[in-house]
Amino acid sequence: MFQAMHILSCSFTLLLFTEICTLPLVEETMMNRCGLLTVNKEPVPLKSIEVELEVRDHVATVVSTLNYENKEDKPVEAVFVFPLPGDAAVCHFSAKLGQTQIVAEVKEKQEAREEYDDALSSGQQAFLLEESQQSPDIFSLSVGSLPPGESASIRLEYVTELAVQADDGLRFSLPAVLNPRYQPQGSEVSSVQVTSVPASLVPYSLSLSARVSSARPVSKVESSCSLDPLQYLNTDQTQATIKLSAGHKFDRDVELLIYYKDAHQPTAVVEAGQASAKQGSLMGDPVVMVSLYPEFPQSVMSTVASRGEFVFLLDRSGSMTSLLTNSKQEKTRISSARDTLLLLLKSLPMGCYFNIYSFGSRFERIFPKSVEYSQQTMEEALKKVEEMDANLGGTEILMPLRHIYSQPCIPNQPRQLFVFTDGEVGNTKEVVDLVKKHSGSHRCFSFGIGEGASSALINGLAKEGGGHAQFITGTDRMQPKVMQSLRFALQPAVVDVSVTWDLPKGVSVTALSPPITALFQGQRSLIYAQLTGQSSEAAEGSVTVKYSLAGHPSQNQLNFSLKPAEDTGSTVHRLAARTLIRSLEMEEREKREEKDGVKKKVVELSVQSGVSSSFTAFIAVNKTGGEAIQGPLLRRNIPTVSMYLCAKLGSPMTMSCAAPARVRGPRGCTGDLPRLRGEGYSLEQQLGSQRKSLRHFHMSPDDNWVVQPPLSPGEYSVEQPLGSPRKSRYSDMSLDDDGATASQSPQDPLLQLVSLQKASGCWQLDPALAAALGKTSEEVEKSKPALVNNEEWATILALIWLHGFKMDAKEEWELLAMKAVSWLRAQNALRVTDCVDAGNALLGSSVQKDALGL
């Protein structure tokens, strides 16, 4: 926890944050004036980041080298708060000073902090890397006592699993964006807060090269960033290299999508234990990593459930006004979420129940409780959705979650929760723990919207809620990913999952992964286990996952060799240790009486495996000979990219320094915040002989202020545009800067057609449908075959248009089309063949009747 004393000593962080980092509308002149300096004209010692990525099948090893140089005439302490994947296992940290290499050790966090403090007090160089107590996807790196003119290279290594995407690609993300995390009212100040700048002001460069290898050919690698051509290293194309193109701007998360041929093959990798580790310990014994891809019967996959309670939870905090992509022509996060809710509501099955919650500093719900899905309730909900804006302030996600869980479940209607958020919350672990507590009563599907969404939050919600996580970044469209999750939600829930092992005599197994709670068609399930005992290298074992699906027992089995794989190093052990550490950390938060005992287990496992945890830190001290570094240290906070630079305006907000609470006498980091309109006060405290002052401010939930660039030195303009919609719903009209009506912007033709569908699945024959099809009412009426019902004709026309002109978006409309086909079958529609022929002639298409499912 950050103590008030330390917050006072670091007003430089706050000055940098408020004067540069909260400027969503930074003018080009401001950017040019700042250059590579902070607002106090203080140099940033981090010069470049070099990333080497090695991908083997679905596991990635990432080595980042951070190059520092102190160009000042006094020693500095550089503090860098940055994001990592939430499920990463950080396993190596070292520093190189000239020819001296210092490898860090993992120690209990408080012990590591004290050693770091003692080293700096003694004039030694020291390096500290620690994980945030609140969220495992944020780390703080302190580089202490870097003498004038000296350079240092910091090497950071972690391993992580790659998530499987809807199109079978494996997703690797190198987080670059770290948006400020909202602290709920009444909560403790986060131990890690963020110093951020606009992307164009990031004063260090990034380079990335990747090597990909697999037992199966690498078919392609795609990215949201510009890449050099893929280079194959062998004739069978199982090894390849790729790198970011020169001149890459560090303005977004770097995402790679890696595609293998026949990727969905179950595998098992056995990794030998370390010879130096004690036998019987996790690191001393072999560990097996099993990847399973369940295959469900086609009879189950061809049908969708007609029951369920679907609860949609939408983030309406101020940051949802940000653009979904880097293009100014693209939709905002909130407008894309509204379009997605339209598709979801049209795709729900008749007979289900639903409700829509939205939240910011407070929360709202459309209905007092979930209602049955009908034409009337669907229309009422859509009307409210069209009025939704990102105007509810901060990100108080706990309040609506608690209210949802307080509502009794509807008998025979399994609850499915869909959470849409940009993931900028500070109390990640508290939110994930709440979802886990209620995991037996629902499934949770989560969606991280935009750059900088917390992977720890989004993945944690889905993992503990037995659902599926999706990230919408770059040029991704939200709708296809969300509709894939809806298809998962409409699949029967897998129950009674069990894992059994069949191993040779003398070999026993200890599960390291938590019990499997969710299985989805084609989605990977990972299992880690420790193998104890002796067996011949030729011995084989098997693992079987049994479960019940739609009332029928099913199972998937995998046979594997116990012979350890070559060249895996300790990757599997570290991933297994990370998995066990995360489980124990959650257990520690649940068991109050046994907290100390569980924490001790985490620390021991973390130290033994060399993998980071929330209770440990990496510490490296340069104990080589040399003169002690003299003089007060200047603190330099390294900024990260923020795509939404107003933190979470419209809510009480505390901004604090990033490093652990430490006081080492005069540090030279002084400065006052410019006073902003709103509630504010000053704090003062005597620290040694130096007086530190800090102005702390917060903003009321109704005042979504934005700080504009300085008009002149020391002058600020405070406006209130965030909560004010600049465009009307569904692109009807927009307002220019004077508030006058601007020209209408065209609505997405697909959404226009979808918006006309009835809850039952049919369309009505009316002028609106004709316009959506690009025809006149007379043309549509004249083409209708005799004796055909108007609604049947309209529905067949809509289906032909979808299949004829929107096949590239089939994932988005497939479910609502299935509902339309079911409606037509229930009507015993006449002259279907004639209708299809007439529809093709009218629309200029050539869709076959069978393709429509009729």
Q: What residue type is assigned to position 775 of the chain?
A: K
Q: Kindly tell me if the per-residue pLDDT of 196 is higher than 80.
A: no
Q: What residue type is assigned to position 612 of the chain?
A: S
Spatial CB neighbours of 23, under 8 Å, sequence gap ≥ 6: 30, 198, 645, 707, 708, 709
CA atoms of 390 and 359, how far apart (whole Å): 9
Which whole number is the average pLDDT over 536-541?
A: 80
Query: Which tops the pLDDT comparison, 490 or 701?
Result: 490
Q: Kindly tell me if the per-residue pLDDT of 553 is higher than 70.
A: yes
pLDDT at position 795 is: 96
CA atoms of 804 and 311, how far apart (whole Å): 33
CA atoms of 141 and 127, how far apart (whole Å): 7
Render pLDDT for 618-646 as a digit per residue (tens, 0 to 9): 999 998 877 788 777 888 888 787 765 43
CA atoms of 395 and 399, how far apart (whole Å): 10
pLDDT at position 198 is: 73
Place of tokens 């007086």: 691
Most confident of 13-17, 368-372, 426-430, 735-739: 368-372
Neighbours of 281 (CB within 10 A): 16
Domain with CATH 3.40.50.410 in the chain: 303-490
pLDDT at position 407 is: 95
What are the φ/ψ torsions at residue 771 (nearest 5 degrees)?
A: -65, -40
What are the φ/ψ torsions at residue 345 (nearest 5 degrees)?
A: -65, -35
pLDDT at position 42 is: 67
Query: Which tops the pLDDT comparison, 423 or 348?
Result: 348
Q: Kindly tell me if the per-residue pLDDT of 510 is higher than 70.
A: yes
CA distances from 380 to 338, 362, 521, 635, 750 (A): 14, 22, 34, 55, 21
CA atoms of 421 and 109, how far apart (whole Å): 31
Which whole number is the average pLDDT over 86-96?
A: 93
- Per-residue confidence band for 674, with pLDDT thresholds at 50, 70 and 90: very low
% residues pLDDT > 90 (the chain) = 47
Strand pairing partners for 66?
A: 49, 154
CB 11 within 8 A of CB 694: yes
What 534-542 contacts at long range (C-beta under 8 Å, 24+ apart), as own/partner pairs, is: 534/506, 534/507, 535/503, 535/504, 535/506, 535/507, 535/562, 536/504, 537/562, 537/563, 538/563, 539/504, 539/507, 539/563, 540/504, 541/501, 541/502, 541/503, 541/504, 541/507, 542/501, 542/502
% residues pLDDT > 70 (the chain) = 79
Helix (H, G, I), strand (E, B) or coil at 603: helix
Q: Residues 233, 236, 242, CA angle at the centre, nearest 5°?
A: 35
- Per CATH, which fold does 303-490 belong to? Rossmann fold (3.40.50)
- Weakest mean pLDDT among 230-239, 250-259, 817-826: 250-259
Which whole number is the average pLDDT over 7-17?
A: 31
CA distances from 199 to 19, 387, 439, 451, 638 (A): 15, 32, 38, 12, 13
Query: Which tops the pLDDT comparison, 198 or 798?
Result: 798
Here the tokens at position 19 are 């004067």
Place of tokens 């490093």: 659
Which whole number is the average pLDDT over 708-726?
A: 31
Q: Helix axis angle, 428-437 relative to 398-406, nearest 10°?
A: 10
Residue 187's region, left for phi above 0, alpha for psi from -120 to 50, else beta, is: beta
CA atoms of 799 and 824, how far apart (whole Å): 11
> DSSP character for 713?
T
- Per-residue confidence band for 50, with pLDDT thresholds at 50, 70 and 90: very high
CA atoms of 13 and 3, how far apart (whole Å): 15
> DSSP character for 20?
I
Residue 804's region, left for phi above 0, alpha for psi from -120 to 50, else beta, is: alpha
Q: Kindly tell me if the per-residue pLDDT of 71 is higher than 80.
A: yes
For residue 497, which of 539, 546, 562 has the smallest C-alpha distance? 546
Q: Kindly tell me if the per-residue pLDDT of 15 is higher than 70.
A: no
Render pLDDT for 145-154 as a digit per residue (tens, 0 to 9): 889 999 999 9
| Maximum Cα–Cα distance across the chain | 99
CA atoms of 514 and 505, how far apart (whole Å): 25
Q: Kindly tell me if the per-residue pLDDT of 128 is higher than 70.
A: yes
Q: What residue type is assigned to position 358 of the chain?
A: S
- Weakest mean pLDDT among 180-194, 227-241, 586-600, 744-758: 180-194
CB 93 within 8 A of CB 127: yes
Mode of pairing for the β-strands spanning 309-315 and 415-421:
parallel
Q: How many CA atoms lie within 13 A of 201 on its CB side?
A: 35
- Per-residue confidence band for 431, with pLDDT thresholds at 50, 70 and 90: very high
CB crowding 182-217: b at 16 or more within 10 Å, else e: bbbeebebbbbbbbbbbbebbbbebebebbbbbeeb
- Helix H, strand E, coil C: the string for 770-813 is HHHCCCCHHHHHHHCCCCCCHHHHHHHHHHHHHHHHCHHHHHHH
Task: Write out the H or E segment, with its range, that includes residue 108.
Answer: strand 105-108
3-state class percentages of the chain: helix first, strand second, coil last, to nearest 5 = 25, 30, 45
Q: Kindly tell me if the per-residue pLDDT of 60 is higher than 90.
A: yes
Which whole number is the average pLDDT over 801-805?
A: 96
The gap between the terminal CA atoms of the chain, to the nearest Å, is 63
Render pLDDT for 436-452 as a digit per residue (tens, 0 to 9): 999 888 999 999 988 88
pLDDT at position 717 is: 29
Mean pLDDT of the chain: 79
Can you give the length of the chain in residues?
854
Cα 378 to chain center, whole Å? 30
Query: Which tops the pLDDT comparison, 11 or 645?
Result: 645
pLDDT at position 200 is: 72
CB 321 within 8 A of CB 565: no
Cα 669 to chain center, whole Å? 34
Exposed/middle/buried for residue 711 (C-beta within 10 Å: 0-12, 13-18, 19+):
exposed
pLDDT at position 802 is: 96
- Per-residue confidence band for 410, with pLDDT thresholds at 50, 70 and 90: very high
For residue 726, which of 129, 25, 31 has the smallest C-alpha distance? 25
CA distances from 794 to 426, 749, 772, 791, 803 (A): 50, 16, 11, 5, 14
CB crowding 671-691: b at 16 or more within 10 Å, else e: bebbebeeeeeeeeeebeeee
Render pLDDT for 370-393 as a digit per residue (tens, 0 to 9): 999 999 999 999 999 999 999 988
Neighbours of 167 (CB within 10 A): 11
- Per-residue confidence band for 303, with pLDDT thresholds at 50, 70 and 90: low
Most confident of 257-266, 598-607, 655-664, 677-686: 598-607
Cα 246 to chain center, whole Å? 27
pLDDT at position 475 is: 67
Mode of pairing for the β-strands spanning 690-698 and 679-687:
antiparallel
pLDDT at position 652 is: 31
DSSP assignments along 461-505, one per residue:
HHHHTTS-EEEE-TT--HHHHHHHHHHHHHSPPPEEEEEEEE--T
Which whole number is the average pLDDT over 351-364?
A: 94
pLDDT at position 117 is: 94
Which whole number is the average pLDDT over 322-343?
A: 78
CA atoms of 196 and 176, how far apart (whole Å): 11
CA distances from 463 to 292, 437, 523, 594 (A): 16, 12, 13, 24
Q: Kindly tell me if the per-residue pLDDT of 459 is higher than 80.
A: yes
pLDDT at position 399 is: 93
CA atoms of 341 and 339, how far apart (whole Å): 5
Q: Kindly tell me if the per-residue pLDDT of 679 is higher than 70.
A: no
CA atoms of 349 and 690, how far apart (whole Å): 67
| 0.85 exceeded by pTM | no
Spatial CB neighbours of 323, under 8 Å, sequence gap ≥ 6: 330, 331, 332, 333
Query: Which tops the pLDDT comparison, 35 or 390?
Result: 390
CA distances from 145 to 68, 120, 141, 629 (A): 12, 6, 13, 7
Q: Kindly tell me if the per-residue pLDDT of 512 is higher than 90.
A: yes
CA atoms of 705 and 438, how far apart (whole Å): 36
Spatial CB neighbours of 51, under 8 Å, sequence gap ≥ 6: 62, 63, 64, 65, 174, 206, 207, 208, 209
Spatial CB neighbours of 409, under 8 Å, sequence gap ≥ 6: 309, 415, 441, 442
